[in-house]
Amino acid sequence: MAAPTTTADQVLDPHPTKEDNYFTAEKGVLSWIFTLDHKRIGVMYLCSVMTMFALGGLFALLVRIEHWTAGPTLDFVTPDMYNQFFTLHGAIMVFLVIIPGIPAALGNFVLPLHLGAKDVAFPKLNLMSYHMWLLGAAFLVLSMVLGAADTGWTFYTPYSTTTTTAVIPALFGAFILGFSSIFTGLNFMTTIHKMRAPGQSWFRLPLFLWAIYATALIQVLATPVLGITLLMLIVERGLHIGIFDPALGGDPVLMQHFFWFYSHPAVYIMVVPAFGVVSEIIPVFSRKRMFGYKFIALSSVAIAGLGFLVWGHHMFTSGQSVVASTIFSSITFLIAIPTAIKTFNWVGTMYKGRIHLDTPMLYALAFLWVFTIGGVTGIFLAVMNVDIHLHDTYFVVAHFHYVMMGGAITAFFGGLHYWWPKMFGRMYNEKQGRIGSIGVFLGLNLTFFPQFIMGTRGMPRRYYNYLDEFQDLHRLSTIGALLMGVSFLFTAYYLIASLRKKHDAPMNPWGATTLEWTTTSPPPYYNFHKTPPVTQGPYDGYEKLWYDEKVGGYIEKKKD
């Protein structure tokens, strides 16, 4: 395998052929498995993450269908299996889909391109991250075979240290995935520091990179705590050393502190990259510079920082002291502000623009709708006394699905459709793309909005059985989930169908001015034939581009 050397100013073959792209550069399965090319690693992450998304989605559908009636619905699903299903759904979606989704799959592909670089700073470490991800995923899948954990993705003690299910392999899987996440974060931070194109100052970075940078910061600082926590759980379970289990002299609430010290920042590992994707899409499809660039850029960093200081808002009912709860609640409110600033700036960007409603933009708009709901419902939960009532109900379930599914996944699909032509060199069927995105949007709202109502009325989460009065709302939710499932299948269908076509994607289908659109679709092995100099901001210069129908994309405007 010819490993590329990646000095920053290496000039490549000045006469590339049309077929000279990263797919054709090397051949064979091994050239994929051991590739050091960030684009190939990104594509492999993408395939793996999508597979896990399908699996996690399947468990979600099983959970939802089980709720069609109170008590048993599906003949083969016992209460214990139901508990395993929602645990697997949560663990898969969090650890294997959303956390790696945007940073590792899209980020790996886009980040060096955004910098005009040939690869990330440490290509071998990047490959190792992916291999560790696979290993972690393998342990999680193994735990399913051995007797899937039934603890919920939160692994609260002492339940998690006393259940008979295969908790240790699942914990070990999450532990390894944590390392993968830390390595990716380190790699991306270094790359952004060291490998920016000439002229690309920090405030000329695309907002996607600001978001990825803020995310990387959290990944590097918070994930080790998850590692320690999982290790302590493994030690307690395996060696019966009392840390969290009161029967052994431990403290179960301590486990919650450790867990949320990671898992609240992890919420921002999941959603800050989504902010980045939306920030890329909205100016391009509004044909206008981003409104309030610096506010959006710095608010990502503010969110990342504040995100470390709020973990105790998950524990208002745990017996935590009033003083602690008060501090956690007040800082939680502060996070609302940078989040609101972002939203207003995105909407402000559309003012006096020329708005094109293609699939990526539809996903970005869906994000604004859904994320606003996710955001404002967070206020209910940050208020201490209201949270006492709503804690551990379907209101919480609905809230974090509006943020995770509605925020992170919607933005992920927006980004996927936005960069798809660049990644694979093909345009998907635009009409089908729009239908798919509308289906996802409707299904999402139908699934999760009724859950807010149920939650306030008294429906606790993780309930196999429920009181009869909740049946109608549960059914609405289940119908929504099925609609979402169908829409995602449809999306998979037209995306895969597009791959069978000949290369037809232009260099710049959407008329963007970030660097990835100045190279061919798909890019050559070394990304750029010449390191591109940066002379303007990431959302400047739309007026210099011209849509050409013959090309099917944008080209530099000819001088009059």
Q: Which residues bind Cu ion (CB under 5 A)?
A: 264
- Name the minimum Å distance from CB 99 to other proteins: 22
Q: Which is nearer to other proteins, 231 or 386 (by Cβ)?
A: 386
Report CA Rg, the chain.
23
Q: Which does 71 bind (CB under 5 to 8 A by kind): Cu ion, other proteins, none?
A: other proteins
**Integer CA distances (angstroms), 266 to 94, 361, 446, in order:** 9, 26, 26
Cβ closest to other proteins, residue 126 vs residue 256: 256
The site partner of 1 among other proteins, Cu ion, none (C-beta below 5 to 8 Å per kind) is none
**Measured between alpha carbons, how far is 373 from 403 in angstroms, rounded to an integer?**
8
Q: Specify the residue, 67 or 264, whose C-beta has the smaller distance to Cu ion.
A: 264
Residue 178 C-beta: closest distance to other proteins, Å: 23
Nearest approach, Cβ of 319 to Cu ion (angstroms)?
A: 16
Which of other proteins, Cu ion, none lies near 337, with the C-beta cut-off 5 to 8 A by kind?
other proteins
Of 51 and 326, which has the nearer Cβ to other proteins? Answer: 326
Cα atoms found within 13 Å of the Cα of residue 177, Cβ hemisphere only: 30
316 binds, among other proteins, Cu ion, none (CB under 5 to 8 A by kind): other proteins
**Which does residue 26 touch among Cu ion, other proteins, none (CB within 5 to 8 A, set by kind)?**
none
- Shortest gap between Cβ of 92 and other proteins (angstroms)? 18
- Residue 469 interacting entry, from other proteins, Cu ion, none, C-beta within 5 to 8 Å by type: other proteins
Six token digits for residue 392: 């551990």
Element (H, E) at 478: helix 471-499
Q: Do 425 and 21 contact (CB within 8 A), yes or no? A: yes
Shortest Å distance, C-beta 308 to Cu ion: 11
The span from the CA of 64 to the CA of 539, in Å, is 42
Alpha-carbon span 171 to 177, nearest angstrom: 10
CB 100, min distance to other proteins, A: 26
Q: Do the beta carbons of residue 513 and residue 206 sit within 8 Å?
A: no
Residue 237 binds which entry of Cu ion, other proteins, none, CB below 5-8 Å type-dependent:
none
The option from other proteins, Cu ion, none interacting with 432 (CB < 5 to 8 A, set by class) reads none
Report d(CA 220, CA 214) in Å as an integer.
10
Give the separation between CA 327 and CA 383, rounded to whole angstroms: 12
How far apart, in whole angstroms, are the C-alpha atoms of residue 336 and residue 348? 18
20 or 150: CB nearest other proteins: 150
Give least dist CB 312 to other proteins, A: 13
Amino acid at 548: D
Q: Which does 351 bind (CB under 5 to 8 A by kind): other proteins, Cu ion, none?
A: other proteins
CA distance 3 to 10: 14
Q: Which is nearer to other proteins, 129 or 508 (CB)?
A: 508
- Minimum Å gap between C-beta 525 and other proteins is 31
Q: Which does 51 bind (CB under 5 to 8 A by kind): Cu ion, other proteins, none?
A: none
Q: Are 139 and 51 in contact (CB under 8 A)?
A: no
**Both tokens assigned to 95:** 């650890």
Nearer residue to Cu ion within complex by CB, 40 or 264: 264
DSSP codes, 488-556: HHHHHHHHHHHHTSPP---S-SS---SGGGGS-SSPPTTS-SSPPP--S-TT--GGGEEEETTTTEEEE
Nearest distance from C-beta of residue 267 to Cu ion, angstroms: 6
Q: 449 and 372 in contact (C-beta within 8 Å)?
A: no
One-character DSSP codes across 140-208: HHHHHHHH---STTTT-TTHHHH-SS-HHHHHHHHHHHHHHHHHHHHHHHHHHHH-PPTT--GGGS-HH
Q: Minimal distance in Å, beta carbon 310 to Cu ion?
A: 6
When the beta carbons of 193 and 294 are compared against other proteins, the nearer one is 294
Give the Cα separation of 263 and 225 in Å (integer).
10
Say which entry of other proteins, Cu ion, none residue 264 contacts (CB below 5 to 8 A, set by partner kind). Answer: Cu ion
Q: Which is nearer to Cu ion, 266 or 446 (CB)?
A: 266
Distance in Å, CB of 150 to Cu ion, minimum: 13
Cβ closest to other proteins, residue 356 vs residue 503: 356
How many Å apart are CA 346 and CA 205, to the nearest integer?
17
Q: Is the Cβ–Cβ distance between 527 and 118 less than 8 Å? A: yes
Among Cu ion, other proteins, none, what does residue 466 contact (CB within 5–8 Å per kind)? other proteins
Q: Which is nearer to Cu ion, 264 or 342 (CB)?
A: 264
Q: Which residues pair with 545 in a beta bridge?
A: 556
CB of residue 298 vs other proteins: minimum separation in angstroms?
11
Give 91 or 440: the residue with its C-beta nearer to Cu ion. Answer: 91
